[in-house]
Structures are given as structure tokens and as C-alpha cells.
Chains A and B, each alone.
Chain A
Amino acid sequence: MKLTKTLLASTALTVAAGMATADGHMANEMTIVSWGGAYSNSQQQAYHNPYMEKTGINIINDESSAEAVAKLRAMNEAGNVTWDVVDVVAADAIRLCDEGLAMEIDPDEHLAAAPDGTSAEDDFGDLLVSDCFIPQIVYSTTFGYRTDMVGDTPPTSVCAIFDTDAYPGKRSLEKRPINNMEWALLCDGVAKDDVYDVLETDEGQQQALDKLATIKDDVIWWSAGADTPQLLADGEVVMGSTYNGRLFSVIEEQNQPVAMLWDAQVFDLDGWIIPTGLSEERLARALDYIYFATDTQRLADQAKYISYGPARASSAPLVSTHADLGIDMAPHMPTDPNNAQNTFLYNYEFWADYRDDIDAKFQAWLAQ
């Protein structure tokens, strides 16, 4: 029967097409997932371009890092992982590692040693927060303020965000509990070392929310990293939290009347993971790329294009000047001694446990 033939033919075609896309990974192509924008550009300049030149492998960029966790799980369940290397923040890397979606890495076997012979494991040190995670940069979530809206006494302490008398006007905070809860407790008189002990308890969580409630009406809650820079540039807020690299570009590249408030900046990490379930050939290529892109010189090179600190101790002395602006980048690094006088360390273990619970309470509090 003619119809049956047509059906069979079309089914065969569909299957063939499906197989063709599954095999779509050409021998000399790899897909690298990152955040897009200025950040991807810095990786393109510092890692991708030299790597493509060296090996002839073509790198395809996919700007999906924001949804990487969900997409990787979906790909894994479908048995068709199309990504080779993925850029995620450390907290997501821990989650992916827990879910068995990211491959465990042996730093000394898979990563380059420092030029002076220090092993990769020692060179990255404490920053190896998960077995699956290869740190790339240290960034910080910190505050910027409008220099023309704070009068003669620019804020020097993070607690200025809670001081609406001295600094009237709106402030912007991220629409999630992480960092905000810590700052609230710090400014409510909790000692820095005790913050996470207090935050473990229901009373401590309530204390942090109560402190945040004192400024709830003055806060614009952001969910995209670009929000605070825009709000600051438009004068919508007097101060706001965001990633330090975003503030750098508002201050140095766009010359807005904004200054950094580094007090109690929260260090966080961003880096690579390799998905599980890659074929041997693709895995070898991904590992080769990782080995190349995370050596001491490459990490230092990235700081020419964006103001995030390299994750290797051995890279810090090699940080030079901005590729376009020509200014010295070291003073703009969150890890610079002047900026890092009072810092706060993101507690990955704590948030891996408490993220879901505290987030539920935080969102319920927001909706009240």
C-alpha cells in the first residue's frame, strides 16, 4: 500500500535525521557553555582564540550557563549530552556533582602545574570546593553607590544599606536569601564567625528577615546581574549589590558617578565542569581544553578583559593592564589587599543544605 510506504519512508527519514543531529558533533568541534556578554568575551579572548589557533578545533559558544543545571539534567535523562565544557558558579557545580551530572576531576592529573612546579591542587588550594569543579575566577558580590546622592559622607560600611536615615533612597538587593541574610545578621550585631551558626536556627533566620524587614519598602529586588548597574546609572537607587565586574564597567567604562563599597564583599567562585556521559573522544578533547584554559598564564590573561581575580595563586602576580582602557587591573580585583580588608566567605556547605529551606521562607516573607 502506498500510504504504508510513505509512512515507512517518513519514519526512516525522521530516524535518520535524528541520528544525524546526534552525530552532529564533528570531529573538530566542541561546544562550550558560558554566561554570554562581557564575560564570554573575556573567555573568547583569553582562552578560546588561542586554543583554536593552537589546535584547529572550532569552539561553539552556547550562552546557557544560567539554565545549565536544569538543561544538563534534561540532556542526561535524554541520554544525549551536547555540551563539552560548562561554565557554572561553584554552588551549581556542587549541585551538579551531587546529582551525578558533572564528572569528578583529579586536579593533579587533569590540570597543569604552576610554572614553579607547585601542583595544581596546591595552586588552587581551598578554592577546589567540589570534586567536580575547576575554579576559574574569584568574583565578589558587593555594593556600589551613587557618589552624588550620598552627600559628604560616603558609606564605608555594608550596614549603610540598613541606614535609611543617613542614606535615604531605594537600594537594590538580589531576590534570593544568599548574601542578604548574612549581611542582615552582620548589621544586626552578630559576629562574623557566628553568622552561619546563627543562620542554622529558626530564630536566627527570623532575626535576619526581621532586619531585612526594616528596609523592605526601600528595596528593589533584582534577579539579573545587569539590573543594579542600570538602576544606579538611572539614579533609581542610591546603592545596590551586584557582581564587582558589573560595577567596574559602570565606573570605568561608562564613567557613571558610582563608587565601590567593598566592605563585607562576599567572595564566590566561577569555573568549569565537564558533564558526565561524554564519549571517550569528546571527553579527551574537553580535558585537553581544560588543561590548556586553566593554566597560570591563561587565567591571568582573562583579567585583561574583565575585573575578576584569577583562581590560581600563581596567576595573581601576572595580572596586567586592561586590554582596551590600559589601566592597571590589580586595584580592581576583589582580592586586592585594599579591597579585601573585610571580606566574607560564601559557605558552600551551609547553602547546599539550607538553600531550599531558607529560600522557601525568604520567598514567603517577600510575598507577605
Chain B
Amino acid sequence: MTDATQNSGPMMAADGTTLKSSLNRALRRQKLRALMLIAPLLIFVLVTFIAPIADMLFRSVENQIVSDTLPRTTTLLADWDGDTGGLPSSEVFEALYTDIFVAQERKLHTRLGSRLNYELTGVSSLFRKSGRKVEDMGEVYQDQFEDLDGFWKDSENWNALMGSDSWLADQTAWDEKSDTRQPAFELREGIDGLLPQTAATFEIFADFVQNEDEDNLAKEDPWALVYSALYTDLMQEPDVSGYGGPGSAELLEAMGAVGTFETVDYPAAFEEIDKDWHSIDVWQTIQTYSPDFTSGYFLNAVDMKKSPDGPEMRPDNEQLYIKLFIRTLFMSLVITGSCILLGYPVAWILANLPARTANLLMILVLLPFWTSLLVRTSAWKVMLQQQGVINDTLVWLGVVADDSRLALINNQTGTIIAMTHILLPFMILPLYSVMKTIPPSYLRAAKSLGATNWTAFWRVYFPQSVPGIGAGSILVFILSIGYYITPELVGGTTGTFISNRIAYHISSSLNWGLAAALGAILLAVVLGLYWAYDRIVGIDNVKLGG
């Protein structure tokens, strides 16, 4: 056969293609059909499990909020070097004014403030305060334009100046009460060449009014920001004389007057809002966190921080997470170990008793399993506290003195005791199902061949029960790594886990980026341990049932 194929080239199918590809095609169709059978489940798992987890973990590097909210500032700030000790130029402050003005209209500035407050304390209130006061800066120019000519007060005049004729006609014809959409704003041709900044800010304003606020643009007065932009444009002395559209006379008039306008000194105005705007730290933080993706959360999760000179360790009194990771792993190992010690004899007894008694005892194992987690944890409080059942009994027996009662709760001991109890069924059940399959005759055979009880157990029985230990250990260890309710309630200060901090950042501080980074590290550690387990013990040696 092999000789034949070697001699006459590849074997052909009836349609002239090679047999191999023909077979592949037939198999592919079968595979596809099989895939379609599992498709609903696959899609379900992808959509409801994998995708949300991936999305959540992605937040650990995501950082678009800074450049999205302060697009002009971050662009200009890229060239600034904070190490020289000088503040950014006044153009940067002007860009900041524009960015914050737009952001506060969209109510996004406080969100950015909370984001940057994770990196530099005080930014939160800085942005909140600036958002409230930034409007005053623009009103300086707005008032002067309006005092110069009543023309500038009216939204209609602005729309006529900035909008195209066809849009103006559509907007006038549009009935606000009808269900039709408001005609989208269109710039007048050439106006963006003549007054570039004014046109740009007016477009943002028009877009905001029409699409976010959903108000009638014809009736909305422009933001103070538009007036500041007009002032900036006119100070560039554009060639207004060539413009003949609506408002050309007023534009010319304004052109002549802006030279005498009272001006806004943006750096000084921001300093007046808050002196922190003249702090290098604030600007360096904005600059450091300008890129769309950041390693900041991951650095934070391993007790480091970004600094202008690259990553550095946090000071000793702020280091927390590495310690918690190590503690979580160590305590999970201890809990797994004590589950094996306590669960093995129980599973042995269950597996070797007559079925009727074994079932009864099995219910005793499962009963706490069906009780609410909170109830069990609270019960342990009553048992373990210093005025609790166990201490009272010990004092009554005279084992410990009344004034030196044992501290069994609100520390590591408490967490280990309570979690061992809670996770014990996860160890007993796989052990039991594996032990059920070990024929008792093996032990008898070993003994009849002269083995002692211990040798028979250790050399014959125990190796066969190892898959159960493996399965139980993986279950208990992975479950305990992620536990947070029990450590929170009975762990005190020395018995809390990394998951308690993850829960805190998800639900209280809303620092989801840091929570995602901590979660990603935890996931990586678990996968790493799983891989190591597979290499050392072999995952084929794990049995969940007979």
C-alpha cells in the first residue's frame, strides 16, 4: 500500500482531487455539523461567561477616559516637560478651559476627577470645583461682545452666522412637536476657514444641544465658550472683509473692538479657582495618564506606582497587596490541608459502612452544606468568640483561666476554622465517591499476604484514593482563594484575603481598574498553580466520581 502510493503519486478520488483533500472535505462537513450541535452552548458560554470576564479584565489596562475628556489638553501636554519645574504654557491652560467647559456641560468632568483621584489625592474636588467655576471665565468675553452689540445676544443671529443656508431653512421648517428628527446642524461654507475655533466650538455646542440634550437648537443661546473662541479667532485678525453673509457688519465691528477688550489670563484664572492648578504634580499626573492604555493599575496591584522616572515601589507603610496575595495562598493551602486531615477519615467511614448507615451519615455531611453561608459563619461567631460557647466550656472545665480566654475569632485561626468547616463537604464528596470504587477485597488480600494494617493502608489503599484527594484539593483550594464573605466576617485584620480588597474596589471605591488588575493576577496565579499541578500530579489523576 505504502509502496503503491509512493510509486504512483498521491491517490486520487473519483472527482480527480487527491483522496486526502476529499476525505478532509467530508470530515469537515461532519465536524461542522457537530459544531452546530454544540453551538448554542458554546455561544451561551461565550456570551454570558467568557465575554464579561474578558471585558472586566480589559478594564485593568483601559484608560481612554483621560484623552477622551481632555483631548486638546492632552495633545498639547505631550510636549511639556515637567522636570524643568515650569508650568505648562498658557495655550495648555486655554485648551484646559475648553476641555473642562465641554466636559462639564456633558457632566463628565467629575467622572474624570474620580478617575485621576485614584492616582493623586485631591483631583476629585479640583475638577468638581473647576467645573462649577469655569463658566465665569467665558462670561468675561460673552459680556463684552453682548455689550458691544445686541446682535451677539441672540441665538438666531448665531445660527445665521454659523449655519448653512439649507440647514437654516430645514431648521425653521422643522416642527418641534412632530416626531421627525431635528435637522442635523451644518456649518456655513467657508466659516471654518474664517473663524476656525469658533466654528469648531459651535459645532460641538450644536451637536450637544441636538443629540445629547435633544433641545431645539434654534432656541438655545450658545455657550460662553463660543464667545471665548470668537475672541481668539478675531485676535488672529482674519480677513473678515471678504465675508458677505449674515452678520458681516457686526463681525467687522467686533473685529475693530476686540483689541480693547478686557482679556482673561487663563493660568491666573485657573489659579484663582484652585491653587492646585499651579502644582506640577497635577499636570504630571494628567500627562502620565494621557495614553489610552496604562500599566498603572497593574503596578498599583503589586504595590508599585508610576512616577515621572518610571515605576517605583510604594513606601513601606502603603504596601498591602503582595502581602495579601501571599497570605491568601498560604491560608488556602492550610485550609486545604486541614480539609484533607478531617475529611479523609470521614469519607473512609462513609465508604465502608453499610449503605443504610452511610446514607444517614451522608445527610449529616450535607446538612450544613444546605444551610446559608451567612448563618453558618454567624454561628461560628457565637461558638468562637471570647464569651462564646467554646471558651465558656474551657473555662468551666478549668483548662483556661477566665482572664486569659483564647482568641479564636477575628484572626487567622477564625478564618481557618470557619472556612474549613464550610468547605469540608467539597473534600468529603469526591473522596467518598473515589473510595466507594476501591474494592475492600484488596485490603483483605494485602493482609492475607502478610501486610500489617498500616502497610496495607499505605501501600494498597491510599495510592488508590489519591485521585479523590487531588479532586477535593483542587475544589477546596480554588474555592477558598476566591472566598470573601467569611474572611470579612471572622477574619479580623490578620485573616482577610485579597478578595476582600477586590470586593471593596468593586463595590465601594468604584476603582474597577484596580479590581480588574488584582483579579487578573489572581486568575493568572490560579492558572499557574493548575498548570504546575498538572505537570507534577497529572490532571488525569483527578477523579470527581467513580
Give the interface of A toward B (CB within 8 A). Answer: 3, 7, 10, 66-67, 69-70, 73, 95, 97-100, 170, 175, 206, 220-221, 223-224, 230-231, 234-236, 349, 352-357, 359-361, 363-367
Q: If A234-B385, A355-B509 touch, does A98 touch B114 (CB 8 Å cutoff)?
A: yes
Decide yes or no whether B107 CB sits under 8 A from chain A: yes
State the CA gap A231–B510 with chains docked (Å): 30
B164 to chain A, nearest CB (A): 32
Q: How far, in whole Å, are A247 and B18 apart by their CA atoms in the complex?
A: 85
For A365, give the chain B residue with the smallest CB separation: B317
**Which chain A residues border B111 with CB–CB below 8 Å?**
98-100
**CA–CA, A206 to B316, complex, Å?**
13
CB distance from A149 to the nearest CB of B (A): 11
B31 to chain A, nearest CB (A): 15
B113 touches A356 (CB 8 A): no
Q: Are B324 and A352 in contact (CB under 8 A)?
A: no
B323 within 8 A of A: yes
Contacts of A360 in B (CB 8 A): 318, 320
Chain A residues contacting B124 (CB-CB under 8 Å) are 98, 352-353
| Contact A70:B506 (CB < 8 A) given known A100-B107, A236-B387 | yes
> Is B507 in contact with A70, judged by CB distance below 8 angstroms?
yes
Query: What would 5 A/B residue contacts be, using CB atoms closer than 8 Å?
Result: A70-B506, A98-B111, A221-B493, A356-B118, A367-B496
* 19 further interface pairs, Cβ-Cβ under 8 Å (given A352-B125, A355-B509): A7-B40, A67-B507, A69-B507, A69-B508, A70-B508, A95-B114, A98-B110, A99-B114, A175-B493, A220-B410, A221-B493, A223-B489, A234-B387, A236-B385, A353-B121, A360-B320, A363-B320, A365-B317, A367-B494
CA distance A356 to B488 in the complex (A): 19
A367-B387 in contact (CB<8A): no
Q: How far is the CA of A221 from the CA of B122 in the complex (A)?
A: 28
CB <8 Å contact, A220 and B508: no
Contact status A356-B385, CB under 8 Å? no
9 nearest interchain CB pairs?
A98-B110, A357-B121, A364-B320, A70-B507, A366-B493, A353-B125, A353-B122, A100-B107, A235-B387
> In the docked arrangement, what's the CA distance between A7 and B39, Å?
9
Shortest distance in angstroms between B110's beta carbon and chain A's nearest beta carbon? 4
- Per the bound structure, the CA–CA distance linking A175 and B125 in Å amounts to 25
**Majority DSSP secondary structure for residues of A touching B:** helix
Q: Mark B469-488, 1 if CB is under 8 A from A, else 0.
A: 00000000000000000001
Contact of B317 among A223, A230, A236, A361 (CB under 8 A): A361
- Return B392 CB to nearest CB of chain A, in Å: 11
- Which A residue sits closest to B44, measured CB to CB? A14
Question: What is the 8 Å Cβ interface bit string for chain B, positions 169-212, against chain A (1 contact, 0 not)?
Answer: 00000000000000000000000000000000000000000000
User: Would you list which residues of chain B between 28 and 47 have a CB under 8 Å from chain A?
Assistant: 36-37, 39-40
Q: Which of B40, B113, B381, B387 contacts A98 (CB 8 A)?
A: B113
Q: With the chains together, A235 CA to B387 CA distance in Å?
A: 7
B385 touching A367 by the CB < 8 A rule?
no
In the complex, the chain B residue whose C-beta lies closest to that of A357 is: B121
Q: Is B464 among interface residues, defined by CB-CB distance under 8 A?
A: no
- Chain B residues near A355 (CB-CB < 8 A): 509
Residues of A within 8 A of B501 (CB): 363
User: Are A356's CB and B117's CB within 8 A?
Assistant: yes
In the docked arrangement, what's the CA distance between A137 and B531, Å? 54
Find chain B residues with CB under 8 A from A175 CB: 493
Q: Quick check: is B282 within 8 A (CB to CB) of the other chain?
A: no
Asked if B295 is at the interface (CB within 8 A of a chain A CB), the reply is no
In Å, the complex CA distance between A236 and B494 comes to 19
Does B546 sit at the interface, judged by CB under 8 A? Answer: no
Asked whether, in the complex, the Cβ of B492 is within 8 Å of the Cβ of A98, the reply is no
Q: Closest CB of chain A to B81's CB: distance in Å?
A: 27
Which chain B residues have a beta carbon within 8 Å of chain A's beta carbons?
36-37, 39-40, 107-108, 110-111, 113-114, 117-118, 121-125, 128, 317-320, 323-324, 381-382, 385-388, 410, 488-489, 492-494, 496, 501, 506-512
Interface centre among B124, B324, B488 (most CB of A within 10 A): B124
C-alpha spacing A27/B37, complex, angstroms? 41
A129 to chain B, nearest CB (A): 12
Q: Are A221 and B492 in contact (CB under 8 A)?
A: yes
Taken together as a complex, chains A and B put the C-alpha atoms of A170 and B123 apart, in Å, by 38
Complex Cα gap A224–B488 (Å): 10
**Which residues of chain A have C-beta atoms less than 8 A from B410's C-beta?**
220-221
A348 to chain B, nearest CB (A): 10
Q: Which residue of A lies closest to B515 (CB)?
A: A70
* Residues from chain A with Cβ under 8 Å of B324 in the complex: 367
Residues of B within 8 A of A364 (CB): 317-320
- Smallest CB–CB gap between B381 and chain A, Å? 8
Return chain B residues, CB-CB under 8 Å to A357. Answer: 121
Residues of A within 8 A of B509 (CB): 355-356, 359
Tell me the smallest distance from the CB of B408 to a CB of chain A, in Å. 12
Q: Which A residue's beta carbon lies closest to that of B113?
A: A98
Task: Establish whether residues A223 and B488, one from each chain, have CB atoms under 8 Å apart when the complex forms.
Answer: yes
Q: Enumerate chain B residues within 8 angstroms of A7, measured Cβ to Cβ.
A: 36, 39-40
Of B110, B123, B318, the residue contacting A100 (CB under 8 A) is B110
Return A136 CB to nearest CB of chain B, in Å. 21
Chain B residue nearest to A72 in the complex (CB): B510
Selected from B320, B507, B510, B511, the residue in CB contact (under 8 A) with A367 is B320
In the complex, A24→B253 CA distance in Å?
60
Q: Which of B108, B388, B511 contacts A356 (CB 8 A)?
A: B511
A359: chain B residues at CB < 8 Å are: 509
For A235, what are the chain B residues with a Cβ–Cβ distance below 8 Å? Answer: 387
| A354 contacts across to B, CB distance below 8 A | 121-122
Q: List the B residue with the shortest CB-CB distance to A206.
A: B317
Interface centre among A67, A206, A223, A363 (most CB of B within 10 A): A363
CA distance A271 to B323 in the complex (A): 38
Report B-chain residues with C-beta under 8 Å of the C-beta of A100.
107-108, 110-111
B110 touches A70 (CB 8 A): no
What A residues does B319 contact at CB under 8 A? 364
Residues of A contacting B107 in the complex (Cβ-Cβ under 8 angstroms): 100
Query: Closest CB of chain B to A37's CB: distance in Å?
Result: 14
Q: A3 and B36 in contact (CB under 8 A), knowing A100-B110, A364-B319?
A: yes
**Min distance, Cβ A216 to any Cβ of chain B, angstroms:** 8
In the assembled complex, which residues on chain B have CB atoms less than 8 Å from the CB atom of A365? Answer: 317
Minimum CB–CB distance from A362 to chain B (whole Å) comes to 10
List, in ascending order, chain A residues with CB within 8 A of B488's CB.
223
Give, as a whole number of angstroms, the nearest-CB distance from A226 to chain B: 9
> With A and B bound together, what is the CA distance between A99 and B111 in angstroms?
5
- Which residues from chain B contact A99 at a C-beta distance below 8 Å? 110-111, 114, 510
Q: Shortest distance in angstroms between A19's beta carbon and chain B's nearest beta carbon?
A: 16
Q: Which residues of B contact A366 (CB under 8 A)?
A: 493
- Cα of A67 to Cα of B510 in the assembled complex, Å: 11
**Residue among A98, A220, A236, A349 with most chain B CB within 10 A:** A98
B492 is contacted by which of A206, A220, A356 (Cβ under 8 Å)?
A: A220
A70–B381 Cα gap in the complex (Å)?
A: 29
User: How far apart are the CA atoms of A73 and B511 in the complex, in Å?
Assistant: 12
Q: How far is the CB of A232 from chain B (nearest CB, A)?
A: 11
Q: How far is the CA of A70 from the CA of B505 in the complex (A)?
A: 9
